[in-house]
Amino acid sequence: MKKACPRIIIAGTSSNSGKTVISAGLAYILRKKGLKVRCFKAGPDFIDSQYLSIASDNNTDNLDTWLMDASYVKQAVVKAADDADIIIIEGVRSLYDGISALGEKGSTAHMAKILDAPVILTINARSIAKGAAAIALGFKSLDPDVNIQGVILNFLKGESHYKKVKQAIMRFTNLQVLGGISRFKGINIEMRHLGLKTVLESDDVDNNIAHIASVISESLDVDALIDIARSAPPLDAEPFSYPTLENDTTHICVAQDASFNFYYPENLAALQRAGAHISFVSPMYDQKLPDDISGLYIGGGFPEFHLDILERNTSFKKSIYNSIEDGMPVVAECGGLIYMCKNMKNKEGKTFKMLGIFDADAMICDKCQSVSYTILNSVCDNTLTTKDAIIKGHEFHYSKVIPNATDSNFAFDVLRGKGIADKKDGWMEHNALGQFTHLHFGATPSAAIRFVKMSKTYSRT
């Protein structure tokens, strides 16, 4: 059954073209106009989604045409339209960049075609004029099936620069120029390795987004953007059919503070659908786990910036350690994996004591150690999968883990990606599983089911 889903994709000619700032500003403006806004972030990204969630005052889920099949992508957008007047999708990297140089899987362009969504191309116009027309023309011509409806110019020097670039683009491409943003307007979000600074670490996020929105409102033709979104044809998708467990409530805690905050909203929703009651706990400041806990989820984040606080909170570390020794299921991804190691060394070479479940030392590096989609083969039953399951995920980290033991127990062979060591990922101790790979439970619902099922078993014993 076809359904109206006003939608628009904000794509870029490259990373750092301003997609997040424009998407967040636009979402905020439309919300203040009285529209119900839902945002999505294309690709495997946790941080941009946090800003889009604040701007839209709604959860921002991720869509990824490599991790997810086309039916899931369409179903997610159709479902979001149940409670939204307009849907904004922020692209990933440049419009055409995906998992390979020649294919389209994982690209914003692929998503645009699956969703039959109009695309707005954001161009970094710094120090170019007619050259911006060449860029726009190239993007428009590369794949005629991608519906590029207009262009936004970013990082302009001023009004004169804007007029020159607009004139060239309209003359050589016939694309609508929907506005331009001066690089002197002071709209930005602070960067660091892995991308933007997280919402929990940024000062005065609400006011920053409000300022961004005021500049966007003055600089872009917002009404034209709304019209383009509303021009998107109805979308056809079957309703979701979620796998669930019997109606039962098992308490799973999620680590949430400035150290650990990389979670897909869909991951937590999948755990809840599987029968989990979710609460949040801070490894930085809480003294112990709740008494009725049945499972623990420690996501990624930036523990390397808070090692002194994590080290000093010995009572919380002891609480987790004892629970793991008792058999409690734990899933620890990336930053969570680091926390589970014996020690963590920062860039300056200072060592901090971590949890000590895994006999390994972690260290933060100057260069990115891996940015890749991953494919894992389960070599044994574990907290997330049964033996021989094949799952997809992604890894992106500046840290590495060096096992001290030669008999480390790993749950996964890495068929694509890097993993912890020697093409292995998913370190196991008791029912605790630590891995560099991040999973999206919407794309891998069996993992959420498995985690909750093991947590229920633990709570009953």
Residues annotated as part of the active site:
334
d(CA 342, CA 297): 19
b/e code 356-378 from CB counts within 10 Å (16+ = b): ebbebbbbbeeeebbebbbbbeb
d(CA 327, CA 444): 24
Pairing of strands 250-255, 191-192: unpaired
Read off the tokens for 209.
């987004």
Residue 197: count of CB within 10 angstroms of its CB:
18
Residue 380: count of CB within 10 angstroms of its CB:
14
Total residue count of the chain as it appears in this document: 461
CB 320 within 8 A of CB 356: no
d(CA 71, CA 210): 35
Chain centroid offset of residue 206 CA = 20
d(CA 241, CA 237): 12
> SS3 for 432?
strand
Beta carbons within 8 Å of 460's beta carbon, 6+ residues apart: none
d(CA 294, CA 399): 29
d(CA 299, CA 286): 17
